[in-house]
Homo-oligomer: A and B are copies of this chain.
Amino acid sequence: MSLEEQSSEDTKKEMLAFEKYLKDKGLKITNQRLLVAEKIFSSHNHFTAEGLLDELKDNKDRISKATIYRILSIMVEAGLLEEHDFGKDYKYYEHIIGHEHHDHIICVQCGRIVEFIDEQIETLQRNAAAKNGFTITGHSLNIYASCQKFEVCEFNKNK
């Protein structure tokens, strides 16, 4: 099985999970919801509501901004999407597979977003919280850094 086929397999599985979630919640399966979900599941990039809207406008299919926001919020609720704040005044979303947690490095030059995970950091965080009498419910670690790759600057593309 090629990588492409594997990827489309994953997409199918996720589409089914989404449809199941909708059914279980008594929500309807509409064209807009399917289109948005397919677009999201077929990519692993971090994206914004605006960016998604643009991509879907290219298609013949016309989806309103309000609907995009409404669908994003359902998918976050469903645990299929994660919402991030990278210090801009709009939110980023990220397609979650499984639920593997990770942190982000955001390039202050080109806006590139790199994911990483460090189990030691995770453990130290839990300890720090415990030491202060807290039980962690979540966390967000963003490292702002410079990747020194000016030539591939995508800073404003990613909106």
Contacts and interface: CB of A to CB of B under 8 A. Distances in A.
A116 B128 contact: yes
A146 B141 contact: no
Interface stretch (A22-30, A62-70, A132-140): A132-140
Given A85-B87, A118-B124, A137-B108, A129 B148 contact: no
A145 interface: yes
Interface residues of A, number: 33
Interface string A116-132: 10101100110011011
A132 B105 contact: yes
Contacts of A134: 105, 107, 114, 143, 145-147
Contact of A140 (B121, B132, B142, B148): B142
A139 B129 contact: no
Interface of A: 85, 87, 103, 105, 107-108, 114, 116, 118, 120-121, 124-125, 128-129, 131-148
26 contacts: A103-B128, A105-B129, A108-B137, A116-B132, A121-B121, A121-B128, A128-B143, A129-B143, A133-B147, A133-B148, A134-B143, A134-B146, A134-B147, A135-B145, A135-B146, A136-B143, A136-B144, A136-B145, A138-B144, A139-B142, A139-B143, A140-B141, A140-B142, A140-B144, A141-B141, A141-B142
